[in-house]
Structure 1
Amino acid sequence: MRIDVLTLFPEMCEGVFSTSILGKAREKNIVSLNTVNFRDFSGNKHNSVDDTPYGGGGGMVLKPDPIFAAVEHVLAGASGSPEVKPRIILMCPQGQTYTQSIAEELAREEHLIFICGHYEGYDERIREHLVTDELSIGDYVLTGGELPALTVIDSIVRLQPGALGNETSAVSDSFSTGLLEYPHYTRPAEFRGWKVPDILVSGHHANIEVWRREQALQRTLQRRPDLLDTAELTPKDRKVLERLKRETQPEQNLT
């Protein structure tokens, strides 16, 4: 996989790209992570990439020409199959809310290009004629698109084969199954009087899997019940949920 990030602040990305899972995936050539400063494509002596908006108003708007030129430069240097068209992703608050299912979809792509903006916004022609996707990581506004892009990239790269030390880790993550993840424990078996659940040290793997599934259902019911509307649930899951709902309902005062 190749990922290119168009940004005015490449140094924000390079530090993240060289550490932890992303750094290891880069070293193993699992993913190619590149930054492009689109200020280099400003085409004017002042290297300006923004201008005041037509019609007036506060703030500055990113011009289309540097962005288009930077993307075209990346495409010209791409060595992949000419039939493969990269997904060009605009990070912005107006975009589709990012989810694990989108991460899994993007993880199957060969080439992704992220555009990280600053200032008031983008010239609308960038949205209309260049990008293929607009993504938002939540209902809030940040100074620029770098942190959202890095968040998305991290979630995509960790899904690449060989990126994680344990290939089953990504499969059982929260949201990957449609549910929140079950609780984890490790040594010591007792810490300050708090013990690891007996089932986890029983050695009975079938019972452990049942316990973990029930815990995932319970945690999702308590913290993110909205996820249950779209999660893939078995008839057994639904029976467990019905029992959990009965157990958590406050007892009615019959006096």
Structure 2
Amino acid sequence: MDNNMEEKWIKHYSSWQKMLLVGEGNFSFSSCLARAFGSATNMVATSFDDKVTLLRRYGINCASYLEDLEERGCLVLHEVDVHDMNQHPTLKSMKFDVIIFNFPHAGHVSWLKERDELLIVRHRHLVRAFFESASELLKEDGEVHITHRDDDPYRQWKLEELCETAGFCLKEKVEFNKKDYPGYINKRGGNINGNVTFPLKDCSFTFKFCLQKSGSSLTSNDDDGYHKVREAIANEVSGILAELGSKFGLN
């Protein structure tokens, strides 16, 4: 990253920010930022899946985005899990100004719908783990951005509650408009119809989180709250599994 170059902006993002993008699908969002900046030396873009899986799922467009990113100097990493990305051999020594996770999703299950409690619990587990690992990769004055739909059932993920357990607080909530990011094509992802888009409607927002200041760090009561959230999620999972076991005669 060369701060002697002219600073360029696209919406919330600057070519002078060191940024980490996680959970990229076809890499069209990363590529959009790189084109706006004219360079991607300030960017690390990652995917959960390996490269072969991505190319099989998203095809030639994904290959084109990856080639463009690498030509512009982006560090592209595959098989990065947000649960433990702070332990990734390449990432663990880095600090970022902004960490971006667009439309997080814990994966589709053929017999579960988005409104089903078990899938909501899985999503909450994912986001909580992301906050925990992101906290160790973020600069002191950095931000975590999660773009997410804020209607039911998605608002039941309770992002603001989850962020507090990892020492974050909500700084700002800004309406997300895909038109602000030319070339970005949001994808469903996963193994079930992964290469189709999903409706963003008019209820998608970018939630900006920052680390709580030292004067407002987690107290013992907050720490108790953190463990209560984890316990509540575990109890939800146990209850749902017991109900499913009874329903399908697995008990």
- Per the TM superposition, whether the score is higher than 0.5 is no
Output the TM-score relative to the length of structure 2: 0.28
Q: Please identify the structure whose Cα radius of gyration is greater.
A: 1
State the TM-score, normalized to the length of structure 1.
Answer: 0.28
